[in-house]
């Protein structure tokens, strides 16, 4: 958590990142950038899913609809924040010649998406309508 707060400062400070270590091969930096963008699109898909649940399941009971939509929106925001944090950490590791950081986040996100999918199937099949 302390690392996260320190990294937040780096998100907005290009000079501070460039002061660390040596500039890696530009291809590695671009690959890191594409990974960041892929995570950002994952976040966008979650946010889009939240809007879709809200707009296209009008028969669902209010609590379920709003709860699922807000959960997907929050997951999207979390995924986006984590994407930029992970990008900064990878960039710093590459500049310092360290191992790339490992992360639990992909496994966690997979579990959340699986749970949401199962809940959606149950809700649609059982049809808890208003």
Give Cβ neighbours of residue 11 (< 8 Å, ≥ 6 apart): 84, 85, 88
* Interface with another protein in residues 83-102 (CB under 8 A): 83-84, 87-88, 91
Which of 21, 45, 57, 61 lies at the binding interface for another protein (CB under 8 A)?
A: 45
Does position 71 interact with another protein (CB under 8 A)? The reply is no
Query: How far does Cα 68 stand from its chain's mean position?
Result: 17
| CA proximity to 5, closest of 106, 88, 73 | 88
Q: How far is the CB of 95 from another protein (least distance, A)?
A: 10
Cβ-based neighbour number of residue 97 at 10 Å: 9
Q: Count other C-beta atoms under 10 Å from residue 29's C-beta.
A: 15
Interacting residues with another protein (CB under 8 A):
10-14, 17, 23, 26-27, 29-34, 36-38, 40-41, 43-45, 47-48, 50-52, 54-55, 66, 69-70, 73-74, 76-77, 80-81, 83-84, 87-88, 91
């Amino acid at each position: 958590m302390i690392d996260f707060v320190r990294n937040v400062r780096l998100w907005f400070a290009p000079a501070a990142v460039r002061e660390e270590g040596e500039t890696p091969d530009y291809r590695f930096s671009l690959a890191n950038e594409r990974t960041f963008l892929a995570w950002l699109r994952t976040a966008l898909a979650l946010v889009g899913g939240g809007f879709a649940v809200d707009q296209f399941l009008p028969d669902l009971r209010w609590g379920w609809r709003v709860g699922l939509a807000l959960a997907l929106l929050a997951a999207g925001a979390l995924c986006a924040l984590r994407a930029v944090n992970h990008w900064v950490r990878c960039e710093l590791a590459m500049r310092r010649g360290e191992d790339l950081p490992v992360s639990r986040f992909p496994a966690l996100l997979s579990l959340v998406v699986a749970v949401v999918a199962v809940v959606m199937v149950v809700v649609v099949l059982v049809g808890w309508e208003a």
